[in-house]
Amino acid sequence: MLIFLNIIDPIPRELLNKNKRKVKQKMKRMSKILSLVLAVVLLVGVFAACGAPATPPADSTTPPADSGTTTPPADTKEPDAAPAETYEWKAANVLAAGGAWDIGLQEFAKLLDEKSGGAIHLEIFNGGTLGQERDTIEGLQIGSVDFVICSSATLSNFIDTQNIWDLPYLFQTSEAARGVLDSQIGTDCLATLSSVGIKGLGYWENGMYILGSTKPIRTPEDMKGLRIRCIESSLQADLYSAFDANGVVIPWGDIYTSLQQGVCDVTTTTLPNMYSAKQHEAAKYITQANQIYGPAPLLMSQDLWDSLPADIQAIVQEAADEAKLVERAAVDAALAETIEIVTNEGCEVIQVDTAAFAAIVEPLYDKYVGTMGITQEMFDAVRAEAEKYY
């Protein structure tokens, strides 16, 4: 050991002391730097913890306890909404396409489509393709037809509350008739139809009746012995009997050939309807006797109406009310236009003293008021309401 120490030169003490002082100084500086770095790291961690929201584990589907809601899993889908119900309906019209009834029904169909957002489609069958009026009304009752526009006279075969509109010279003008039919009187009369499986949506219009004949009618006496087409209505039969004429029941579609073949001498309808069916070609004399104002009730199957939700019922009624105004305007326009057309085509349009005709049928009121569903109270109410328009 002593030999080893003697071989290696010893380090001077002064140098050892000096090196120790340098090492201590470096260690002090490093300690300060480390302390500063640790302080900064701690401060950053504190701020980050205070500012960041609490985040649930990545695989958790449970929201924070204070959220108040439940979030479905990301792959959860809402069920598809049920498809809106749609309706396919049929409407019957015995008159030709292009007439006022058809115009009204076309407007009705358009309004149903618009108001329902396309959920309701109404197909219109004109020209008696679904049968004569009686057939189609029966169709309402059994559900083979959804809507029908017809004469109130044909409807009176199903319920006697409609007979009052067949009374001759009940109205002097169309304006008075419309006012009465749109009043509570008309509403109450339509409501009676439910007892025979029919929903009445409103009174549209056929119009004032004329006499289209194969020989001229200028006075009541000219009607004696003539065969006059009428419908299945005892009141209409009695009306023409009062003039010593004979009522002949003929379906609408057979009138033209019946005039040609002499089965009847006179057709009774509105002038536009007569023209649309070309009956003026066989009956060249047109007498504006205005003996009857013909309402045209728009009817619906009661069973169908009862099956509908309230919002669809409201759409149907609103559409019927609005289309009624269009149909009536078409009646007015058609009457003015048709008078000019038939005159140019060789027909004679005859103006008469309607008071002379009305006087002859006055006794019918005594016979029918108080019978056949025509109450004295209703008759008086209709007359009083009509007076407001004269």
Q: Nearest to residue 382, comparing CAs of 179, 147, 180?
A: 180
Using N-to-C axis directions, what is the helix angle for 310-344 and 100-115, rounded to 10°?
Answer: 150
User: What's the rounded Cα separation, in Å, for the pair 144 and 348?
Assistant: 42
* Residue 368 within a domain: yes
* Residue 30 within a domain: no
Question: What's the total number of domains in the chain?
Answer: 1
CB-based contact 315:115 (threshold 8 Å): yes
* Residue 366 within a domain: yes
Q: Rounded to whole angstroms, what are the CA distances from 126 to 301, 352, 353?
A: 18, 33, 36
In this predicted structure, what is the pLDDT of residue 233? 75
Q: Which two tokens stand for residue 30?
A: 């490093």
User: What's the rounded Cα separation, in Å, for the pair 208 and 331?
Assistant: 10
The CATH code of the domain that includes 242 is 3.40.190.170
User: What's the rounded Cα separation, in Å, for the pair 236 and 37?
Assistant: 115
* DSSP one-letter string for 77-103: -PPPPPPPP-EEEEEEESSPTTSHHHH
* Residue 21 within a domain: no
Q: Nearest to residue 375, comparing CAs of 163, 114, 233?
A: 163
User: What's the rounded Cα separation, in Å, for the pair 357 and 311?
Assistant: 48
Place of tokens 């019927």: 320
Rounded to two decimals, the pTM is 0.72
Place of tokens 């003026």: 280
Q: Which two tokens stand for residue 24?
A: 């201590």
* Residue 271 within a domain: yes
Instruction: Quickly count: other Cβ atoms within 10 Å of residue 268's Cβ.
Output: 24
User: What's the rounded Cα separation, in Å, for the pair 201 and 212?
Assistant: 31
Contacts 24+ apart (CB under 8 A), 6-12: none
* Residue 28 within a domain: no
* Residue 94 within a domain: yes
CB-based contact 330:100 (threshold 8 Å): yes
**DSSP 3-state of 293:** strand
Residue count of the chain, please give it. 390
Full domain range(s) for residue 378: 87-387
Predicted confidence pLDDT, tens digits, the chain (390 residues): 333 333 333 444 443 344 444 434 544 555 555 455 444 444 444 444 444 444 444 444 434 444 444 444 444 444 443 347 999 999 999 998 998 999 999 999 999 999 999 999 999 999 999 999 999 999 999 999 999 999 998 999 899 999 999 899 999 899 999 999 999 999 999 999 999 999 999 999 999 999 999 999 999 999 999 999 988 778 888 999 999 999 999 998 899 999 999 999 999 999 998 998 899 999 999 999 999 999 999 999 999 999 999 999 999 999 999 999 999 999 999 999 999 999 999 999 999 999 999 999 999 999 999 999 999 999 999 999 999 998
* Residue 298 within a domain: yes
**DSSP 3-state of 268:** strand
**DSSP 3-state of 48:** helix
